[in-house]
Amino acid sequence: EAQVTQNPRYLITVTGKKLTVTCSQNMNHEYMSWYRQDPGLGLRQIYYSMNVEVTDKGDVPEGYKVSRKEKRNFPLILESPSPNQTSLYFCASSLSFASGEQYFGPGTRLTVT
């Protein structure tokens, strides 16, 4: 089944404790992206990747890191999480940036206390 998977689905952590949210797709998609969704602010792009080893900042990259060493995986790293990073996070992928039709993962609900 073609899908985007994310782990964990739910996470409660404390300020400053490094964490990684994994994202994997099995559709051989080139473009991958991370979003956060907050009430009243909608979906905002954190980082995106056009292809392996090519990543760039979105609108809200502060406090996040990413890497794209393999085509299928695009982990999101929070080196020192803070309470303002409490949010719902989505990973998405599309065949290419040109195609634009994104498929979203199930989401990760992160709470930082």
Stretch that binds another protein, among 16-24, 36-44, 60-68, 77-85 (CB under 8 A): 36-44
- Looking at this protein, which amino acid is placed at residue 22? T
43 contacts another protein (rule: CB under 8 A): yes
User: Residue 2: how many CB atoms within 10 A of its CB?
Assistant: 10
Contacts of 13 (CB under 8 A, 6+ apart): 19, 81, 110, 111, 112, 113
Does 104 bind another protein (CB under 8 A)? Our answer is yes
- The amino acid at residue 43 is L
Q: Out of 63, 67, 77, 97, which residue is the one contacting another protein (CB under 8 A)? A: 97
Is position 107 an interface residue for another protein (rule: CB under 8 A)? yes
Q: From the list 41, 79, 80, 96, which residue makes contact with another protein (rule: CB under 8 A)?
A: 41
